[in-house]
Amino acid sequence: MMTKKKMKEAAIGFALGAVGGSIMAAIDEPVDSTLAAMTTTSQLKPLIEDIRTVGALGLGTLMGASALTIAMTSVVAGVVLAAVVASLFVTTRNCGASQTNYANLWVNAGLAGALGTTVSGGTLGFFIETIVNNFGMTGLLFALCIFSVLKPPLRFVFNILWQQGEACCTQTSTVWDTERKELEISDLEQRERVAVQIEERILNNGRSATKDITSWTTERKLREELERKKMEAEEAEVKQRSLQDWIKTVMIKYVDFLAFSGIPMTVVAVVTSLFGLFGYGGHYSVFIVLVALVAIIGYLILKSSDFKFWMLIGCMGMLATFVIAMLTVQAGDEIMNQKRQPQDVNSDSIIERMSDLSSREALKTAIIAAKLCQLSLGAAVGGPLVRHAAGEGKVIIGAAIISVVLLAGVEILSPALGKGGKAGALLGVVGTSGVSIGAVAAMAAECTSWPRTLGAVAGVIIGTLVMGDLHFVLIGVQLFVAYVFAMTNTF
């Protein structure tokens, strides 16, 4: 029989789980509608024209690598911006020792991270759409290569800038020194008063006992208050330095992730696209080379003795790119199979339909893979935040509210963003919702209260089913991915 306390725990878990599940499912509809608008014949025209240039495999790997690059880059941009804001709070001592000021730190960092993810996603989506419309798949291939080559040097530059920024903030922040000096002065003054009182008592030969007792009681209280302030100041300083070290660790991990994780899938896209450019885009030898390339790169990454977070994501991105390419080829093969049926169709019509269906499948699967990538990376942020005692309710509800606000903003600005920009911005919103669902997963797994855990699980399932379109397989995959990444110790 459940007690009143357990029922309350279950209700809280259910409510938080429902919030996370609802916001995750609610974003599916805008993404699906945007994808439907992007797969119209007019929007697909550049892809249909260029599929004969790079081949079906090349188109699939290029679209997959580009969509995943948007997802990864936008998440990293959001995390880095949030880390910069949080670091400014800590190093300038603006967050203070109170819970209210620490809550302000997380709120400002969360807003900065969500806004950075959405804006960078929309910007990258807009640029990719512009490149494809003006320069085709060849232009996209060159842009992807240039971006991949520039990221490692940018990582080096960013690390230097971060160190310089930390040094400047530390030098300009004198709050800790000032507070320490004030406490030392107060301590010295208190000791001097006690010494004077002892001398007076010796000179008075123990007279005025009542006055002495009152003075000693006052001084004892002052001493206890001073010791309490010194202890609180030391604890706050240790807490903030620990927080600053954690922020720095997160930033370094994600900058490394940005710099290196895209290399495996970029290599796959370049190799298959080059085969297409030289006229072998539809040859089965390309498929053999692609399988061998994925196997070799995956083996080299997994063999590393110092396996890192970016290696895991890079390997998954490469495999996702491979799957997208396979689905793109399969879509074209379906039309070829129809050729064997007794239908009155000419070869030009078959090629046109193959190109159309392959292009639709490449774009569709690339967006779905990017959405899962964003959700997982968002969960990889939300989970550690809960374990780092940022407050599970604050993270879950805060990320959900920010997601709703950003979603409304994207819808309002959609005419200016264009189809590609809107898709990229929506992927950023998916990342923010991933923070919420990742926090729910961490709460359910780490919570010692079984009623709260069961309530959270039930809330997530009901929330996703009520707000979603009953895509049971997709919802199940999203929840599984979010749970795995929320519980992964990336730092």
Q: Give yes or no for residue 174 having a pLDDT over 70.
A: no
Residues 219-271: pLDDT tens digits?
Answer: 666 666 767 766 766 676 777 777 778 788 888 888 888 888 888 999 998 88
The C-alpha atoms of residue 356 and residue 343 are separated, in whole angstroms, by 19
Has residue 159 been placed in a domain?
Answer: yes
Token pair of 237 as six digits: 């300083």
CA distance 134 to 52: 17
The lowest-confidence range among 69-78, 354-363, 415-424 is 354-363
Residue for token pair 């070829």: 336
| Domain assignment present for 167 | yes
Q: How confident is the model at residue 209 (pLDDT cuts 50, 70, 90)?
A: low
204 found inside a domain: no
Q: Residue 381: inside a domain, yes or no?
A: yes
**Contacts for 80 with CB less than 8 Å, ≥ 6 apart:** 116, 158, 251, 254, 255
- Total number of domains constituting the chain: 1
Q: Is 212 a domain residue?
A: no
Distance CA 279, CA 172 (A): 61
424 touches 66 (CB < 8 A): no
| CA distance linking residue 314 with residue 297, whole number of Å | 10
Cα 351 to Cα 353: distance, rounded to the nearest angstrom: 5
- The string of pLDDT tens digits covering residues 92-108 is 654 444 455 566 777 78
E-assigned strand segments in 321-414: none
pLDDT-derived band at 172, boundaries 50, 70, 90: very low
d(CA 441, CA 436): 9
| 96 compared with 298, residue with greater pLDDT | 298
- Side chain identity, residue 103: A
Most confidently modeled range among 72-81, 185-194, 461-470: 72-81
pLDDT tens-digit readout, 123-163: 999 999 888 888 888 888 899 999 989 988 888 888 888 87
Q: How many CB atoms lie within 10 A of CB 129?
A: 21
- Across 30-51, average pLDDT: 80
| Helices within 27-40 (DSSP H only) | 28-38
How large a percentage of the chain has pLDDT more than 90?
Answer: 3
What's the pLDDT at 326?
85
Q: Is residue 276 in some structural domain? A: yes
- State the residue range of the domain holding 336: 4-177+234-486
pLDDT in the model for residue 146: 92
Q: Of 13-27, 130-144, 226-240, 331-345, which gets the smallest average pLDDT? A: 331-345
Instruction: Give the pLDDT confidence score for residue 203 in this predicted structure.
Output: 58
Measured CA to CA, the distance from residue 454 to residue 208 in angstroms comes to 68
197 or 32: whose pLDDT is higher?
32
φ and ψ of 94, to 5 deg:
-75, -20
CA distance 255 to 264: 17
The C-alpha atoms of residue 413 and residue 39 are separated, in whole angstroms, by 20
Whether 218 has a pLDDT exceeding 70, the answer reads no
Least Cα distance to 46 among 32, 66, 30, 27 occurs for 66
463 assigned to some structural domain: yes
Tell whether the torsion through CA atoms of 74, 75, 76 and 78 is positive or negative: positive
Asked if residue 344 has pLDDT above 50, the reply is: no
Q: Which carries the bigger pLDDT value, residue 471 or residue 121?
A: 121
pLDDT over 80 (residue 336): no
Q: Is the pLDDT reported for residue 121 higher than 60?
A: yes
| pLDDT tens track for 381-400 | 888 888 776 677 888 888 88
Instruction: Please count the residues of the chain.
Output: 491
Mean pLDDT of 22-41: 83
- pLDDT confidence of residue 189: 64
Instruction: Name residue 443's amino acid.
Output: M
Select from 276, 363, 290, 279 the least CA-distant residue to 327. Answer: 363
- Please give the average per-residue pLDDT across 445-469, as a whole number: 81
Within 13 Å, how many C-alpha atoms sit on residue 429's CB side? 28
Query: Could you tell me which residue, 305 or 85, shows the higher pLDDT?
Result: 85
Q: Is residue 200 in a domain? A: no
Does 466 score more than 70 pLDDT?
Answer: yes
Q: Are 54 and 271 in contact (CB under 8 A)?
A: no
Please report the pLDDT score of residue 97 as a whole number: 47
**Rg of the chain taking only CA atoms, in angstroms:** 29
Residue 204 token pair: 């008075």
Q: Alpha-carbon torsion 378, 380, 381, 383, what sign? A: positive
